[in-house]
Amino acid sequence: MDPRLRIRIEVETMHELIGQLDYYQLLGTREDCPQSDIDAAFRGEGRRLHPDRVAAGATADTRAKANDVFKAINDAYRVLRDPDARARYDSERRGGKLKLDEEARKQAAEEAAAKSDPSKASRTEKGGKYWKMALQNWHDKDFNGACMNIQFALSFEPTNEVFKEWLEKAKVAREDQKKDVKQQNAYKIRI
C-alpha cells in the first residue's frame, strides 16, 4: 500500500475515534511507561502524523482532520510531559475522564508557569510577600537575605516545591559568595 495513502487512512480513522482515545493512546504508549518515554513517543507520533506529511495530495477535509489529530497529540504531550500534570490526569482518567477539561488544563498551565516563572510561585498572600522580598534579595545578590525570606515564605507555604528548590539554590549561592569573600580578603587583618 502507498505510504501516503496509509497515513491518510490512519489520520481519518484517528479523527473518527479521537473522542474515545486517551492521551496515552494518542501518543501510542502505555500508562505505566517511564516519564522518559513520553518525549520519544511524542516525537515519533508527531513526526509520523504531522499535517505536512499528510498534506501532499490530500483534500482540504483530510488536511483539517490531520490538524485536529496533531492538536490532540500536542495536548496529550503537554499534559503527560509534566509529572505533576500526568499524575493529575492519571487520577482523573481512573475516574472515567479520557481528557482533561478546560479548568484542569488551565490549572496545569498555571502550575507549569509557576515553575518556569518564579514570581508566580506563591499561593498565599503572606507567603507571596516574603517570596517577593526573597526574589529581590536574589536579584541584589544578597543570598543571606534571600535564604531568610524564603524560609519565612516557607513558614506560610511549607509544601511549596518552588520555594524549597530556590532555598537550596540560595544556600549554595550564599556559600559560594562566602568562599569568594574569603579568597579576596585572604591577607587582610581583621580588628
Amino acid found at 73: I
When divided into structural domains, the chain yields a total of: 2
Q: Is residue 109 located within the same domain as residue 20?
A: yes
Tracing cell 524564603 back to the chain, one arrives at: 150
Amino acid found at 1: M
Residue 59: which pLDDT band, with cuts at 50, 70 and 90?
confident
pTM over 0.85: no
**Is 85's pLDDT higher than 70?**
yes
Q: Is residue 104 located within the same domain as residue 133?
A: no
C-alpha 114/C-alpha 120 separation (Å) is 5
pLDDT at residue number 137: 93
**Is 141's pLDDT higher than 60?**
yes
Q: What is the pLDDT of residues 87-108, one digit of tens each?
A: 888 888 887 776 766 666 666 6
Q: Which three cell numbers stand for residue 138?
A: 536574589
Q: Is residue 88 located within the same domain as residue 131?
A: no
Q: Note whether 167 and 143 are within 8 A (CB).
A: no
Nearest to 78 by CA among 48, 111, 54: 111
Residue 135 backbone phi and psi in degrees, to 5: -65, -35
Q: What angle do CA 154, 155, 160 make, to 5 degrees?
A: 30
Q: Is residue 131 part of a domain?
A: yes
